[in-house]
Amino acid sequence: MKILLAIFSAHKYDYKFNDPCMTDWFVRPDVDRVSALRDTWLKDVTVDYKIFYGVQPGGRVNRAPLEDEVFLNAPDGYQHSSQKLKALAQYALDNGYEYLLKIDDDVFVYWDRLNLNPTADYIGGGPSGFAAGCAYWLSKRSMTLLADSPPFRWQEDFWVGCVMENNHIPLTKDARYFIAPTTRTNQYISDEALSNPNQYLTIHSLSPEQMRRHYKEIYG
C-alpha cells in the first residue's frame, strides 16, 4: 500500500484574517516547528513523507524547496487552508498514493503505534462529527472527492468533513488521535499531562521544546 505522510506547514505562521470581524481563537507563538519534527519522530517514519507549503502572497517563493518539501500551487495563508488541502489531495493522486495521512506541524506522532494498513475512507479524532484537522487519514476515494470539490469553507477540516458527509462517507473515529485541552494563551499540552503514560497515536499539540524532550524520554 502506497501511503503519503503529508505534513501541513507554512512559510510564515500568519493567523490574521482579512476580515476585521474575525479573530483566531489562540495566541499562537511564531516558532520554528519543522526542525523539531526533523529532530524527533520524523526520523522514524517508514513511508513516503513530504512537508507541504503553499505560495506566499503575491506568488513569491523566496527559496527552493528542500528534497522533502513540496510547494503547492495554492495560497499559504491560514484562511486558505482548504485550497491548500485540495492541492495536496491532487498531488497525492497524481503521484499514485492510495492513502494520505495529513498531520499538522505541531503534532507529535507515535509512529510505532500507527496502523499502516488502514481500510476506512476517513479516519481521525476530535470532539465533533468531523475529524479534527491536526491528524486524519484519507483514502484514494476521499482524496478524489476533495480534488473534485470546490473549497466552499476556508477551514480545511470542516470542508473535508462536509465533503465526506455530502458523499455519505462516515468518519471512523478514534480518540487516540488526541487533542489536548487548551487555553486562550496556551495551545500546548501541559507538561504534567505529557509526562503521564498514554496509548495515543498522536497528540495535538506540543511546543518544539516539548517535542524534543518527550521524544527523548520515550525513545531515548
Name the residue ranges covered by the structural domains of the chain.
Answer: 3-219
pLDDT tens track for 16-39: 655 555 555 555 666 799 999 999
Alpha helices in the chain (DSSP H): 34-39, 81-94, 140-147, 156-166, 191-195, 208-219
Q: Give the E-state strand segments of the chain in sequence order.
A: 3-8, 48-55, 69-75, 99-104, 107-109, 122-124, 135-139, 172-173, 177-179, 202-204
pTM value is 0.93
CATH topology of domain 3-219: Spore Coat Polysaccharide Biosynthesis Protein SpsA; Chain A (3.90.550)
Q: What is the DSSP letter of 57?
A: G
pLDDT tens track for 173-199: 999 999 999 877 778 999 999 999 999
All cell numbers assigned to 65: 524547496
